[in-house]
Structures are given as C-alpha cells and as structure tokens.
Amino acid sequence: MNSVLMSSLSWVAYQERLQDGELVLLLPCGALEQHGPHLPLGTDALLSDAIAQAVAAKVNGLVAPTLSYGYKSQPKSGGGQHFPGTTSLDGQSLSQITRDVIREFARHGVKNLVVVDGHYENQWFLTEGIDLAMRELGAANPLRIMRLEYWDFCTEETLHHVFPEGFPGFALEHAAVIETSLMLHYFPQLVHLDVIPDEKSADFPPYDLYPACTHWVPPSGVLSSAKGASAENGALMAEQITASIAKAITYEFSKGHNKPLC
Ligand code: ZN
Ligand code: MN
C-alpha cells in the first residue's frame, strides 16, 4: 500500500507518484476553533485530514499537509471569535495561502486536486483562492480542482439514521452530534464525553450584528446538543461519506471523463 501522506515522501518518491497522471492530491482545510468543552480546538483540521486520508486510500491519492487555521468563527456556525483558543485568519490571508499552495502543486505537475473543507466559514475564501490560482495558471494548465465540504456527502438515509428525531441542520451541528461522533470514530482519545453540556440548542435571529452578540451563543460554545453522539454513528458516517467522496472523485477525475456533471 502506498503512503497517503505527501509530507512523509521524499521529493523523488513524490515525483514518482506524480507520474501517474490520475494521481489525486487532497488538501484538507480546517480551523483552530473552540468546539465546546468535550472536543479539541483542532477538530475541523483533524476531521478534514482524517477524511482526506480515508478517501486517499480508496482512490490511490495523496494528502497534502492540512491548512490548520481557517476563516473567522461566526456565532451561528462556530460560536464566534470571543472564545479563548479560537485563532482565525483574515479572509484574504486564507485565500492567498490557498492560491499559493495550489500554484505550487500545479508547478509540481499535479493535475487533480481535491480541497476538503472541514470548517463551515472557510468556503468562500477557499473558493476565492482556487479562483485566483486558476486565473493565474491560465486555461492551458491541466489542473482540475474539486472543492467540497465533507458533510454535504452525508445522505438523507445516513442523516435519518443518526438523527431519528429530525436533523437540526449543518450550521447548528458545530461541536454537536456529527463532529462528536466522527471524533469518537477517528480520535476517541481526544473526546471527553463526561463534559458534554446539557443545554438547549442555540436559537438565533435571522440576522447578524456587529460587534457580535456573544449572549446569543451558549456559554459552552456547543450550538446543539452532542448527547446523541456515538462511535457507531461516527463509523457509519465516516464510511458513507468517504465512499461517496471517493465515488465523486473517480467519476470526475478518471481518464476519459473530463466533463463536469452539469
Ligand atoms: Zn467543527
Ligand atoms: Mn468550524
């Protein structure tokens, strides 16, 4: 079995892997952000990396080192910037580092890149970095990029199984059932089930205020209860999500298929 970690290869071994024109490089993107008292600050980075590694093993891919800092935590999706430990980038910084590493991957000869986002707030700044890189590389460059938020691959069937009483939506899932279950699956030693708060779900108005109203956010930083989390559901979601991502990558990047789905 080939190693899936780019950082563990020599440049010579990396260059050899790139000889396979179908090689897929995956770039996990996370954040350093509070995830309640029961999950580590690095949760988004750890999960995007773990998922990227599992996908890489299925598609003979390679995983680049994770972008471990992300865009600013928002009250309604990550609790906000007022928590100790939450350490965020300006949007422009994230876009530029994304552009810079993509430009380097293109110089190496990478043709298929998957940006695996694990932090809700990153989305448009990663998109901007991808767009800046693509514009700079020009239409003749063979690099093709897929960007995804891993939770979007969760099927209705899986969500129904994990949330028999109804799914609260991905934004409120911060430090809640999905992330806690996935962490129990991939990094059980980093989860502290005994300190999961017993609070009501956050109830936000349909607007934002600046400066942020920190009293909108539960003091624990958990936006909806993680009480229903389990390692079994984590394993189920991990398997289904990584299989679905691998399928999409194979569909889009395999030889002979160069057209987008739409
Ligand atoms: Zn998270
Ligand atoms: Mn996040």
Q: How far is the CA of 67 from the centre of ligand 2 (A)?
A: 13
| pLDDT class of 262 with cuts at 50, 70, 90 | very low
Query: In the structure encoding, which two tokens stand for residue 131, read together?
Result: 């767009």
Residues 224 and 199: their CA atoms lie apart, in Å, by: 8
Catalytic-labelled residue, pool 117, 121, 149, 173? 121
* pLDDT at residue 1 tops 60: no
Catalytic-labelled residue, pool 38, 44, 117, 185? 44
| pLDDT class of 258 with cuts at 50, 70, 90 | low
User: Is 104 labeled as catalytic in the residue annotation?
Assistant: no
Residue-wise pLDDT tens digits, 71-111: 999 999 999 999 999 999 999 999 999 999 999 999 999 99
* Percentage of the chain lying above the pLDDT 90 cut: 90
> What are the backbone angles phi and psi of residue 177, rounded to the nearest 5°?
-65, -45
Q: How far is the CA of 255 from the centre of ligand 1 (A)?
A: 34
Q: How far is the CA of 254 from the centre of ligand 1 (A)?
A: 31
Q: How far is the CA of 140 from the centre of ligand 2 (A)?
A: 35
CB contact at 8 A, 177 and 191: no
Amino acid sitting at position 146: M
> What are the backbone angles phi and psi of residue 70, rounded to the nearest 5°?
-130, -175
Question: Domain ranges in the chain?
Answer: 6-253
User: Is 119 labeled as catalytic in the residue annotation?
Assistant: yes
Q: How far is the CA of 142 from the centre of ligand 1 (A)?
A: 33
User: Is 16 labeled as catalytic in the residue annotation?
Assistant: no
What average pLDDT does the segment 167-189 reach?
94
CB contact at 8 A, 138 and 223: no
CATH topology of domain 6-253: Rossmann fold (3.40.50)
Task: Could you list the beta-strand ranges (E) of the chain.
Answer: 24-29, 62-63, 70-71, 88-89, 112-117, 144-149
| DSSP class of 206 | S
The confidence score (pLDDT) of residue 3 equals: 85
Task: Tell me which of 34-48, 133-147, 163-177 is least confident.
Answer: 163-177
Query: In the structure encoding, which two tokens stand for residue 63, read together?
Result: 């995983």
User: Is 174 labeled as catalytic in the residue annotation?
Assistant: yes
Residue-wise pLDDT tens digits, 127-167: 999 999 999 999 999 999 999 999 999 999 999 999 998 89
Q: How far is the CA of 141 from the centre of ligand 2 (A)?
A: 32
**3-state helix, strand and coil shares in percent for the chain, rounded to the nearest 5:** 45, 10, 40
Q: Residue 206, class by beta-carbon neighbours within 10 Å (0-12 exposed, 13-18 middle, 19+ buried)? A: exposed
Catalytic-labelled residue, pool 33, 49, 117, 149? 33
User: Is 108 labeled as catalytic in the residue annotation?
Assistant: no
Residues 14 and 96: their CA atoms lie apart, in Å, by: 24
